[in-house]
Structure 1
Amino acid sequence: MEKIFFIEDDEKIRNELATFLGRYGYECSFSTDFESIVEKALEEKPSIILLDINLPYFDGYYVCREIRKLSNVPIIVVTSRDSELDELMSMNLGADDFITKPYNTEILLARIASILRRTYGNIEMDILEYRGIYYNRATSEVEFNNNKLELTKNESKILNTLMISKGKIVSRNELMKILWQSEEFVDDNTLTVNINRLRKKLEEIGALDYLQTKRGQGYLLI
């Protein structure tokens, strides 16, 4: 599980971020000891740090510079300051990205995932997203418009395959081969049953007409 450390003095923002990012499988932590915030952040060994600029004791520029002296952990500066100078200073001090408040939480989520993927390319990301559908590999949960359902093992394997195919048709034979690798015998009718159950669950959370059947070819998410 990737850990995100917040260096943010606004309790409301911290709580909102922790709730939002926690839903997508991230472990979130923070410290209110801003006098020793660099040490506190590195002690947590986070996968990525979200850093505000306006902080008690030391501003975010100083914190970013001090962290960079000791660690290459990815840093996203998240601040209400929106001048080009602030962004330039952040990048020159070693930040990996710069996002201004108020920000779109979905964009923040995408930026975090992108940086984690770029930094830890050998680690398979737990969260997949396709047109507003979020699939958590770690928990086998699918979410759409804040509605969430748990999937069975076979439903999870099917959805995972369709999502990484990014809107391309996946043949029935390919899906059956993926399910066969689970050491369970899956006949043609069993695949149809699992597809229909997955489609029903997607519809239950509001993702209508996403899972399409292409007769004689296979299935895809549109």
Structure 2
Amino acid sequence: MCAKIVVIDDDQKIASMIRRGLTFEGYEVLVANNGREGLMKILEQPPDLVILDVMMPGIDGLEVCRRLRKDGNIPILMVTGRDSVADRVEGLETGADDYLVKPFAFEELVARVKALLRRTENNIAKDYIHFSDLTLNLASHSAKRNGRLIELSTTEYNLLELFMQNPKRILSRDLIMEKVWGYNFKGESNVLEVYVGYLRHKLENQNEPRLIHTVRGSGYVMKE
């Protein structure tokens, strides 16, 4: 699915040029000719990236940037004729992710757009771990299996994360105890077995196939 980009610039000639060029590159592009209109378009159809001019009547680009940063983390590329160091610093400190000075080569604009979208994709990828039909959300400490939300306690989350970070690898009991409970436990406690049971119950609640398997005499392994 192509990325959606909102261009906010009161210079209709430049906005039209950017729209035509990015559309040719395969992006879905919406154009707004002032800050208020741009904020409305973003509210109605949240984009993957915003290209934002600074000097606009009414709500200028800096204020648009502030409002967007207050409500979310949409990547913002400022495109403006203000090229002093102070202007660049102000734009970046307001919340812009990148700053491109007019006039610019269209190829450079495309390169900046691709870099920002790639950075966002990488950040999103780091927030999740996937194995089979199971997804672990590293931000919310929850999991989903076949779209079914699975709430986890702190210990359950830590244990499941360890398994999902090491798929198809046999993890010894001592290693799991050290990583999850923070110490090398040699005693007879069955706490690990209890928590593996908790996880299996939650992961297999809808009769899904088992993912956490016991390897007799060795430990546990996550596999299909």
**Greater gyration radius:** 2
Q: 1:122-176 CA distances to partner (integer Å, 9 max, x unpaired)?
A: xxx5543333422234443211222112112221111011112243222211111
Structure-1 residue corresponding to 2:182? 181
Which structure has more RCO (C-alpha within 8 Å, separation ≥ 6)?
A: 1
Task: Report the residue type matching 1:198 in the other structure.
Answer: L
1:65 and 2:66 matched: no
Structure-2 residue corresponding to 1:57? none
1:40 and 2:64 matched: yes
Structure-2 residue corresponding to 1:49? 74
* Contact 1:133/1:207 (8 A) holds in 2: no
Question: What secondary structure, in the 3-state scheme, does the structure 2 residue paired with 1:14 have?
Answer: coil
Q: Evaluate the alpha carbon distance shift between residue 74 and residue 210 of structure 1 in structure 2; reply closer, same or farther with a 3 A threshold.
A: farther
Structure-2 residue corresponding to 1:212? 213
Runs of 4 or more above 6 Å deviation: none
Q: 1:163-204 CA distances to partner (integer Å, 9 max, x unpaired)?
A: 12243222211111234328x998542211211210121112
Q: Following TM superposition, by how much is the alpha carbon of 1:214 offset from its aligned partner in structure 2, in angstroms?
A: 2.3
* Contact 1:211/1:220 (8 A) holds in 2: yes
Structure-1 residue corresponding to 2:111? 92
Task: Report the residue type matching 2:173 in the other structure.
Answer: R
C-alpha distance in structure 1 between counterparts of 2:172 and 2:120, whole Å:
32
Structure-1 residue corresponding to 2:122? 114
* Contact 1:49/1:73 (8 A) holds in 2: no
Identify unmatched segments of 5+ residues in structure 2: 7-37, 49-57, 81-86, 99-105
C-alpha distance in structure 2 between counterparts of 1:113 and 1:93, whole Å:
14
Structure-2 residue corresponding to 1:169? 170
C-alpha distance in structure 2 between counterparts of 1:126 and 1:35, whole Å:
34
Q: Following TM superposition, by how much is the alpha carbon of 1:208 offset from its aligned partner in structure 2, in angstroms?
A: 2.4
Identical-residue share of aligned pairs (%): 20
Question: What secondary structure, in the 3-state scheme, does the structure 2 residue paired with 1:49 have?
Answer: coil
Structure-1 residue corresponding to 2:194? 193
Q: Following TM superposition, by how much is the alpha carbon of 1:213 offset from its aligned partner in structure 2, in angstroms?
A: 2.3
Q: Following TM superposition, by how much is the alpha carbon of 1:96 offset from its aligned partner in structure 2, in angstroms?
A: 1.6
Structure-2 residue corresponding to 1:155? 156
Question: What secondary structure, in the 3-state scheme, does the structure 2 residue paired with 1:148 have?
Answer: strand
Q: 1:40-95 CA distances to partner (integer Å, 9 max, x unpaired)?
A: 234526884257xxxxxxxxxxx5534x95338558xxxxxxxxxx9x56433454
TM value normalised by structure 1: 0.52
C-alpha distance in structure 2 between counterparts of 1:36 and 1:206, whole Å:
55
Q: Evaluate the alpha carbon distance shift between residue 93 and residue 50 of structure 1 in structure 2; reply closer, same or farther with a 3 A threshold.
A: closer
Question: What secondary structure, in the 3-state scheme, does the structure 2 residue paired with 1:96 have?
Answer: helix
Q: Evaluate the alpha carbon distance shift between residue 142 and residue 116 of structure 1 in structure 2; reply closer, same or farther with a 3 A threshold.
A: closer
Q: Evaluate the alpha carbon distance shift between residue 116 and residue 200 of structure 1 in structure 2; reply closer, same or farther with a 3 A threshold.
A: closer
